[in-house]
């Protein structure tokens, strides 16, 4: 049985870590290099770095900042935001990223997943997606959750894996930042639809929410931001509590 992973997420805007609610109202959460070092030392299993305005601003991910973060961590490090080509990805992998996360760029040009997987292997390719129910159907959104697409959530994750994604990072937009818990039903549907690891994202507000997502779905990892950034949950204590609930953790 694969051990479950705890993953802090650094959403980056203008070189700072930020966090909002439902993708809106961003507030400063600290220096990403300092936070990355702290989480690595506290026992996080992986780290995710998302340059959340790179796609909207039509620019590449902040390579220098990625390099500085990578120098401070000794855990797997996933980077996303503005990655539109194999060349973009190679530059980030060369500067310390272990995995590449693509979202809007893969929706706009799905072949990107094939190209990244062929070049680096599917273990390096994470398909991130932001979705919410629209008239009862889960739809995928792009450009930082601002633009609705015609894509159905489950259709897109299946296609993404067929094209070479080795992991799914699914954020429920309606749960994001609310601290009301993860979108358990949708997460389990994604887990059942694909045969690659699924990372839960969006809505974590308590240790109980981590317990719920691991006991009630087949996700492989749970990602959170504000509860870690603002000191509400300490990673080592979280892991000890999960073990007491017979959840196999790294």
Q: Look up residue 45 and give its two tokens.
A: 């299993």
β-pairing, 5-13 with 16-21? antiparallel
Tokens 């240790």, residue located: 207
For residue range 189-242, list pLDDT tens digits in order: 999 999 999 999 999 999 999 999 999 999 999 999 889 988 899 999 999 999
Residues designated as active site: 11, 130
Asked whether residue 50 is assigned to any structural domain, the reply reads yes
What is the per-residue pLDDT for 203?
92
pTM attached to this predicted model: 0.92
As a whole number, mean pLDDT of residues 38-49 equals 95
Asked whether residue 11 is assigned to any structural domain, the reply reads yes
For residue range 80-131, list pLDDT tens digits in order: 988 999 999 999 999 999 999 999 999 999 999 999 999 999 999 999 999 9
Asked whether residue 249 is assigned to any structural domain, the reply reads no
Asked whether residue 72 is assigned to any structural domain, the reply reads yes
Give the Cα separation of 117 and 124 in Å (integer): 7
Between residues 54 and 193, which one has the greater pLDDT? 193
- Give percent of the chain above pLDDT 90: 77
- Residue 107's contacts (CB-CB under 8 Å, 6 or more residues apart) are 129, 140, 142, 149, 151, 156
Q: Look up residue 63 and give its two tokens.
A: 């390579």
Give the Cα separation of 166 and 121 in Å (integer): 8
List the one residue out of 113, 107, 163, 168 whose CA is nearest residue 140: 107
Asked whether residue 250 is assigned to any structural domain, the reply reads no
Give yes or no for residue 53 having a pLDDT over 80.
Answer: no
What is the per-residue pLDDT for 56?
57
Domain that holds residue 229: 5-244
Contact 129, 169 (CB under 8 A): yes
Total structural domains in the chain?
A: 1
What is the per-residue pLDDT for 60?
62
Asked whether residue 95 is assigned to any structural domain, the reply reads yes
Give the Cα separation of 159 and 119 in Å (integer): 19
Domain of 146, CATH number, reads 3.20.20.70
| DSSP assignment of 37-70 | HHHHHHT-S-EEEEETTTTTTT----HHHHHHHH
Asked whether residue 61 is assigned to any structural domain, the reply reads yes
């Amino acid at each position: 049985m694969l051990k479950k992973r705890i993953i802090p997420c650094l959403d980056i805007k203008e070189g700072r870590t930020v966090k909002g609610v439902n993708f809106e109202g961003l507030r400063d959460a600290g220096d990403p290099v300092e936070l990355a070092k702290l989480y690595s030392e506290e026992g996080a299993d992986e780290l995710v770095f998302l340059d959340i305005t790179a796609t909207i601003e039509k620019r590449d991910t902040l390579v220098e900042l990625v390099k500085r973060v990578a120098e401070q961590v000794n855990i797997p490090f996933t980077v996303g935001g503005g990655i539109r080509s194999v060349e973009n990805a190679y530059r980030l992998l060369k500067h310390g990223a272990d995995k590449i996360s693509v979202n809007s760029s893969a929706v706009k040009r799905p072949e990107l997943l094939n190209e990244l997987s062929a070049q680096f292997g599917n273990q390096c390719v994470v398909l991130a997606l932001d979705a919410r129910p629209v008239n009862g159907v889960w739809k995928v959104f792009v450009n930082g959750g601002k633009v609705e697409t015609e894509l159905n959530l489950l259709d897109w994750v299946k296609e993404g894996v067929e094209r070479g994604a080795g992991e799914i990072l699914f954020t429920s937009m309606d749960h994001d930042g609310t601290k009301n818990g993860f979108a358990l039903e949708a997460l389990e549907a994604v887990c059942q639809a694909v045969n690659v690891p699924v990372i839960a994202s969006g809505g974590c507000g308590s240790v109980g929410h981590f317990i719920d997502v691991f006991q009630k779905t087949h996700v492989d990892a749970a990602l959170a931001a504000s509860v870690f950034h603002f000191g509400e949950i300490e990673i080592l204590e979280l892991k000890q509590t999960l073990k007491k609930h017979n959840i196999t953790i790294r």
